[in-house]
Structure 1
Amino acid sequence: MTTIEKKLVDYLKDAHALQQHVQGVLSELLTTAADEPDLCRRLGEYAHRNRRHTREIEDRLRAHGASPSIVRDAEMLWGAIADVLKYRNHVGRHVRDGYVAAHLQIAEAEMLRRIAARVGDEETADVARAVCEDAHAVSAAISDNWDAAVELSLQRHGVHLHR
């Protein structure tokens, strides 16, 4: 395996770990957004596609004779769980974290796509492209709902604004 192919596998492992983190963030965000049906529907669709992307990344790792990094996956997953426990009823923070996680996915997928293209691995580049497109879509869905997130956050903390 060449140095660039090793780097590609390294990025695939990072992408897989990030998928685990995003899944944890999405799980809490779906619970948090239960009172917002449109956002919840869009997040649920994204969570479904995110699980599919995780399987595709696992397939690409196997194609390169590798497997996910248990350590990286655990670090990312435990990071998401720790945030959930720390900020249990902080709707705004969960929405913010979902938005940030989507942008981390975009950055990770863009790097993965470009490295895969240089190696000539179009299948991995296609997976990365799909991850990136979906992360952009969920970022837009969250952006469309900042006001709802603020309202939910204030309500959960007993603040009711009279209009």
Structure 2
Amino acid sequence: MTDPKANLVDWLRNAHAMEQQAEQMLKAQAGRIEHYPELRQRIEQHLEETRGQQALLERCFERLGESPSVMKDMMGKVAAFGQAIGGAANSDEVVKGAIASYVFESLEIASYTSLIAAAEAVGDTETANVARQILPQEEAMAQWLLEHIPSITVQFMQRDAAENTEAKK
């Protein structure tokens, strides 16, 4: 039988690794986007939010006398690197990147929703509050992407149809 607090700590570690992966993905995307300034600006904004989220999670670990998982963090970074390499090979990189980002934001939303429930179940109101603080940032990014995927797609198609115009990034 697993101690419920052990589950919470494990899920905190997962959230931290997820944010490490998000940071790497966002840095790679922002660094490659050239022709979609609104998307690049929003990604850079969320990158700063992501770094703040990592700091909030790290304070939870300190308060609980725990630490993030080096292995999980490394695996998240490796996964992000693989995604960046794979994405760069696509001729429609910007569109696929926006879609993949939306999917990743949905994962983060579900993860923080679960983390709130777990923290509440073990009486850790501080961790629940941290997750409640992070959740709206993830929801806002997902909503922004959902609203802008159509215009990103159309911009890509227009650029792709124009002669001597790069569209992919």
TM-score, length basis structure 1? 0.87
For residues 83-102 of structure 1, the aligned pairs below 5 Å read 83-88=83-88, 89=90, 90-102=93-105
Q: 1:12 offset after TM fit, Å?
A: 0.4
Q: 1:154 offset after TM fit, Å?
A: 3.8
1:36 aligned partner: 36
Q: 1:100 offset after TM fit, Å?
A: 1.1
CA contact (8 A) 2:23 2:50 kept: yes
Deviations, residues 93-149 of structure 1 (Å, cap 9, x unaligned): 211111111111101101111111111111111111122111110011111211232
Q: Return the letter of the residue paired with 2:150.
A: D
1:125 aligned partner: 128
Query: RMSD in angstroms over aligned alpha carbons?
Result: 2.1
| Aligned length in residues | 159
CA contact (8 A) 1:13 1:72 kept: yes
1:160 aligned partner: 162
2:67 aligned partner: 67
Once residues 24 and 12 of structure 1 are traced to their aligned partners in structure 2, the CA distance between those partners, rounded to angstroms, is: 19
Q: Return the letter of the residue paired with 1:130.
A: Q
Q: Higher RCO, 1 or 2 (CA under 8 Å, sep at least 6)?
A: 1
TM-score, length basis structure 2? 0.84
Q: Return the letter of the residue paired with 1:75.
A: M
Once residues 72 and 126 of structure 2 are traced to their aligned partners in structure 1, the CA distance between those partners, rounded to angstroms, is: 23
CA contact (8 A) 1:18 1:105 kept: yes
Q: Does 1:13 align with 2:2?
A: no
**Structure 1: gaps (5+ residues):** none
* Cα distance change on mapping 1:33 and 1:148 into 2, 3 Å: farther
**Structure 2: gaps (5+ residues):** 164-169
2:112 aligned partner: 109
Once residues 23 and 109 of structure 2 are traced to their aligned partners in structure 1, the CA distance between those partners, rounded to angstroms, is: 15
Q: 1:71 offset after TM fit, Å?
A: 1.0
How many percent of aligned residue pairs carry the same amino acid? Answer: 26
Q: Does 1:142 align with 2:152?
A: no
CA contact (8 A) 1:25 1:97 kept: no
Once residues 147 and 28 of structure 1 are traced to their aligned partners in structure 2, the CA distance between those partners, rounded to angstroms, is: 22
CA contact (8 A) 1:17 1:73 kept: yes
CA contact (8 A) 1:25 1:94 kept: no
